[in-house]
Structure 1
Amino acid sequence: MENAAGDFTEKLNEWGKAKTPFFFLVDYQFQKPLAWKLEDVDPEEILYNLNGFANDLPVLRDELPEHIRFDKHPLAFDDYQPKFDCVLRHLNAGNSFLVNLSVPTPLDTNLTLEQIFRHSEAPYRLLVRNRFVCFSPEIFVRIQGNRIASFPMKGTIDASVPNAEQVILSDHKEAAEHATIVDLIRNDISIVAEKVWVERYRYIDRIQTSDKTLLQVSSEIAGLLPDTFDGQYGDLLEKLLPAGSITGAPKPRTLEVIQEAEQYNRGYYTGVMGYFDGENFESAVMIRFIEQQDNGLVFKSGGGITALSNAKSEYQEVIDKVYLPFSHAPHAVL
């Protein structure tokens, strides 16, 4: 099941040039990228629904339990603080302008990974059976014709906060963080595209969770691929990954800061999943991620840290992002 990075890149280049449809997964560190011709994806092993492009054939949806149990056991704040302080030291030393700090949160639930996959209301969903489920709201890159676009999400607030939209859009820390990511993504896209521009800047997406609505701030950055591109999707991913929205800027040094601060293996969390249908290429960042580990389920979540960040509010954001995107869960106990 595991392909070396070089083999993966060559396969995607070959299939893209030949217009052969494929599906792929890339882990955060690009150590275990996986790719299949579309016809070879086994639904007994992998189910996906990427913005309507799916192999999760309609089935009788698993009935949810009458009472859903979803208990999170977050890292204690006293254990989060040293990680935050480590990031802040690097920010203040000028080693980075923005660092995405993530942590694992153990979970107890009476739901299966497949039930979570089938009932999640998210545009990009993936189930790798007995390993993990992902229900992501974030596009990585979308390619239609010679146009490439990326849609980084940075900035989250509970919609129940009075004037939530105004609060998040006028927050100086959030504005600085978002501007940094847009600049980073614009630079990344310029590696593969000839002309790059910001199509939309800081617009609001609404995300429904099982117990609240979140507002998420996004932007759209677009570019034009050169005539010489010729379906080289493997090369493109190798140049663009890991995604800027889940690392930070400048990317190479920030990756080192993340490794020092996090002290755990992200695995496929914050990697990328996607497909090519023979004409269009679409991919998503694997955030909102629940993994089956030896000792139970773990939800991995994170947020962007800048020099203006407050440890308590960043800690709360990490916890808020541990949720199920069910808008109609029966008698949810959360």
Structure 2
Amino acid sequence: MFKKKPEFERMNQLGKQGIPFLFVIDFECEFPVIIPLDEASDQGIFYDFRGVSNTSRLATNELSPLEFVKKPVDFETYRHAWIAVMQGLNFGNSYLLNLTFPTEISINRTLEQIFHQSSAPYRLLFKDKFTVFSPESFIRIEDGVISSFPMKGTIDANLPDAADILMNDSKELAEHRTIVDLIRNDLSMVADSVRVKRFRYLESIKTNQRNLLQASSEISGNLLVDWPSKIGDILFRLLPAGSISGAPKQKTVEIIQQTETGPRGYYTGVCGIFDGKTVDSAVMIRFIENQQGKMIFRSGGGITVNSEAEKEYRELIDKVYVTAV
């Protein structure tokens, strides 16, 4: 699907030697960044992955109230891409595709301030290029067990009976089952005894606009004892993440590349750390990028043959937010 760059072999070598490192890998696997963990801050890269961090939060009590304005793509532009995706779905080339678009935003915060103000399990500041505040884990490896936690299905938590509405939504259930099956198959390429440990559990997300409920699942498998010497190979086999591409993966990615406005770059890629014994990583969603002085927020959603363009367009816009501390 994508060409394997030398950086993946470098990960194998660092893993074999037990040398901790940070990885930041773009969606197309064109520009993977691999840095010894103790050198990341020197290169202007800061992270906080579930409390493991190379920085401390900056004080934010002197910041002015948040000003946040979205300038989304117009509906007709979105609908044109949606129609192209639906053709691929109706031809049977894909049965779930994650369609994404950039949204220009106006915000009275720098990337660094957004990084420090955001509340999310996985936060990354990549120089002056982009910041990530992702709720979604990609893979974790601990004690020889690899686990993935795909997220699929979101609803406004303030709606009456929000949890019941989300859990009983047949479209959301179908999408979630598809992604769980895809991730289970992906993990089976690198692990044995793959099993679904938790199916469709709910988590809360606090944003600057509203509170959300997000549905996730947990899938796990057993790795061979020499897995650290194969970290790069494992990651490459699993990329791109199924939850932000679709199924079947190869054909779906081809449709994405033909339909979206350009390469995704680091958006929907993965970032994480190997600490010498374990791996923790995230899918780079909730992503704000500095493009020649303009702040661009990337977002999207899963499309199936049962999708409605208006609802998917609204979901894309609703996912443009910053999380609050």
TM norm. shorter chain > 0.5? yes
CA distance in 2, matches of 1:227, 1:66: 52
Partner residue, 1:201: 199
- Unmatched runs of 5 consecutive residues or more in structure 2: none
Cα pair 2:289 2:297 within 8 Å, conserved: yes
**Local SS of the residue matching 1:223:** strand
Shift of 1:44: 5.6
Shift of 1:226: 2.1
CA distance in 1, matches of 2:324, 2:225: 43
- CA distance 1:160–1:36, shift in 2 (3 Å): same
1:33 partner amino acid: P
**Post-superposition CA distance 1:38-90 (Å, at most 9, x none):** 122135611100111111135x4244532211111011111111111111111
Partner residue, 1:53: 52
**Local SS of the residue matching 1:192:** coil
Cα pair 1:202 1:219 within 8 Å, conserved: yes
Task: Kindly report structure 1 stretches of 4+ aligned residues shifted beyond 4 Å.
Answer: none
**Local SS of the residue matching 2:154:** strand
2:39 partner amino acid: D
Cα pair 1:5 1:32 within 8 Å, conserved: no
Partner residue, 1:88: 86
CA distance in 2, matches of 1:176, 1:138: 19
Partner residue, 2:261: 263
Cα pair 1:43 1:55 within 8 Å, conserved: no
**Post-superposition CA distance 1:215-251 (Å, at most 9, x none):** 1110000000123434311011111101001000000
CA distance in 2, matches of 1:185, 1:160: 30
Partner residue, 2:108: 110
Single out whichever of 76-85 and 22-31 deviates more from structure 2.
76-85
**Post-superposition CA distance 1:245-284 (Å, at most 9, x none):** 1000000000011112212221100000000111111110
- Unmatched runs of 5 consecutive residues or more in structure 1: 328-334
Q: How does 1:137-216 map to 2 (within 5 A)?
A: 137-216=135-214
2:205 partner amino acid: I
CA distance in 1, matches of 2:171, 2:293: 37
CA distance in 2, matches of 1:170, 1:98: 19
Per the normalisation by structure 2, the TM-score is: 0.96
- CA distance 1:15–1:233, shift in 2 (3 Å): same
Single out whichever of 43-52 and 106-115 deviates more from structure 2.
43-52
**Post-superposition CA distance 1:126-179 (Å, at most 9, x none):** 001210010000000000011000000001111122211111111111111000
CA distance in 1, matches of 2:61, 2:258: 43
CA distance in 2, matches of 1:298, 1:154: 23
Shift of 1:101: 0.3
**Local SS of the residue matching 2:100:** strand
What's the C-alpha RMSD, in Å, of the aligned pairs? Answer: 1.3
CA distance in 2, matches of 1:293, 1:230: 36
- CA distance 1:172–1:14, shift in 2 (3 Å): same
Aligned partner of 2:122 among 113, 121, 124: 124
**Local SS of the residue matching 1:263:** coil
1:41 partner amino acid: A
Partner residue, 1:25: 24
**Local SS of the residue matching 1:186:** helix
Aligned-pair identity in percent equals: 49
CA distance in 2, matches of 1:11, 1:142: 19
- CA distance 1:64–1:132, shift in 2 (3 Å): farther
**Post-superposition CA distance 1:81-115 (Å, at most 9, x none):** 11111111111111101000000000111111111
1:17 partner amino acid: K
Cα pair 1:5 1:33 within 8 Å, conserved: no
CA distance in 1, matches of 2:157, 2:311: 16
Partner residue, 2:278: 280
Single out whichever of 135-144 and 78-87 deviates more from structure 2.
78-87
Cα pair 2:5 2:30 within 8 Å, conserved: no
- CA distance 1:119–1:43, shift in 2 (3 Å): farther
1:299 partner amino acid: F
